[in-house]
Each structure stands twice: as structure tokens, then as C-alpha cells.
Homo-oligomer: A and B are copies of this chain.
Amino acid sequence: MEESLQNRIAVVLVRARNPLNIGAVARAMSNFGFADLRVVNDYDVPFQDARSAIDAAPVLNTARQFGSVAEAVADCTLVYGTTALGERRLLHPVDMLRDAQTHVRDAVTTGGRAAVLFGSEKTGLSADEMSHCHRLLTIPMNTSGVSMNLGQAAAVCLYELIRESATPQRPLPPEAMPANAEEIARMEAVLGEVLEESGYAHRYPANMREVTHRRMVRRMTLDRGDVDAWIGVLRQVLWKLRKE
């Protein structure tokens, strides 16, 4: 079987400080089928803390620690850095996330291996760290809003990377079969009887144009089960009206 797209994409966390964030990134990777987590940190406390967290996914157990960005991306043919497009002047080409997705997909489907780098929560990637990247990507955001949380940013990026090829985790329930014209006509007939029997037709003759009811019933976009249910309700009403 062909190696999955996800197995050819590494997530690289550079100087992440908060173990909860490292755990959240691992969780998003697990959600979307990614397994290759790489951590670049001067000191290993956050990584060790994340590993000892309760819901430490297998992703965290197989994650690898590197001493530098260069080592972390050594086997990658396309390296993307993430940026919030702050005030800093960027010397890299920058893609919107949805366009970066195309580049990454192209790279890995032609035999390459890609990495997506996330910088520290506070300062993002440094110019030196960015210099190891081929391109940068940015998640479109509301400028006036607050900065994005690392775990949420990773979830959004990974979702975009699998979005095109995604299939539901279980088969979706089949859509109900819409009622056909004959079935709807049966319901209209019973409705007509109710309008007569209840005195509505007598009291509001102006509302009794057949085309009005025909359109009204069609706007209900009924499925077959709905038609049967409504006919049941209307027949019961008729029975009660006639009994009295």
C-alpha cells in the first residue's frame, strides 16, 4: 500500500514553552492521522512534561527531540515555516494556508518529505529559524483579534493538509429519499379533507386556492417517512372531526 500523505509530513515545534501546547499539537496530529512530531528545544522540560501528561498520545511517545532546526529538517525536501504576518519584514515567499497545502501535497506526492515549523508561543520563528525554510505560510486571521493558540493553529494547518483527501471516519448515514409527486399528492388530498371538515375552507375561502397549498406542501421538502407520518396525523384529525 502506498505510504500515506500524513506519513511524509513532519510537524516541527521550535522552542515551544508550554507542555499543554505540545500535548495539544500531538492530539491534533493524532486526530488527523499524522505521526511524525519533532521538537527543537534548548532545554527539554516542556517536552518531558508533555510526555507525562495523562492523555499523552502515541504521537508523543514516538516524537523526536533535536538540537537544531537544521538537524530536525535534514531529511525534508520542502520546509514551511508558519507566521502570523506581524510587523517584521519577511524575506521569504509567503502563502495563504490553502495555497501552501497545494505545495506540500505536490512535494510529498512526488516522493518528497515536508516539514511544517511552528515557532515559540510568544515570538514565533526567529529570522535564523526561518532561514531554514523554503517558504512561509500564514493562517488567514482577523487582524484586530488576539494571536492564535499554538494547539489551535496546528489543528487548523493539519486539517487543511488532509481536507482535500479526507473521507469521513465512518460512513455517513444515507440521506432520506425525498417523497415523489404522487406521495405528496396523497398527502395533499388528506389535507384538503381536513380543511373542509374543520370548517377552514368555509371560514377562509380566500386561502383555498389549490395552487397555494400545492406550493406550500412542496416547500416542506418532505421525505417518504415524513409523508406517511403527516398522513397519519391528518387522518387521525379527520377521524376525530367526523366523530364529533
Contact = CB atoms under 8 A, between A and B. Distances in A.
> How would you classify the secondary structure of chain A's contact residues: helix, strand, loop or mixed?
loop
A66 interface: no
Interface residues of A, number: 49
A145 B31 contact: yes
A107 interface: no
A72 B35 CA distance: 39
A138 interface: yes
Task: Give the number of copies in the complex.
Answer: 2
Interface in A146-165: 146-149, 151-153, 155-156, 159-160, 162-163
Contacts of A151: 149, 151-152
Interface stretch (A37-45, A122-130, A171-179, A199-207): A171-179
Interface stretch (A11-19, A73-81, A88-96): A88-96
Contact of A152 (B33, B143, B155, B168): B155
B168 A138 contact: yes
Contacts of A163: 98, 140, 160
A146 B142 CA distance: 30
A93 B174 CA distance: 7
A24 interface: yes
Interface of A: 24, 27-28, 30-33, 55, 57, 84-85, 89-96, 98, 138-143, 145-149, 151-153, 155-156, 159-160, 162-163, 166-170, 172-173, 175-176
22 contacts: A24-B152, A27-B146, A28-B149, A30-B146, A31-B145, A31-B148, A55-B146, A85-B172, A89-B173, A91-B173, A92-B173, A96-B166, A96-B172, A98-B163, A139-B159, A140-B162, A140-B168, A143-B170, A153-B155, A155-B156, A156-B156, A156-B159
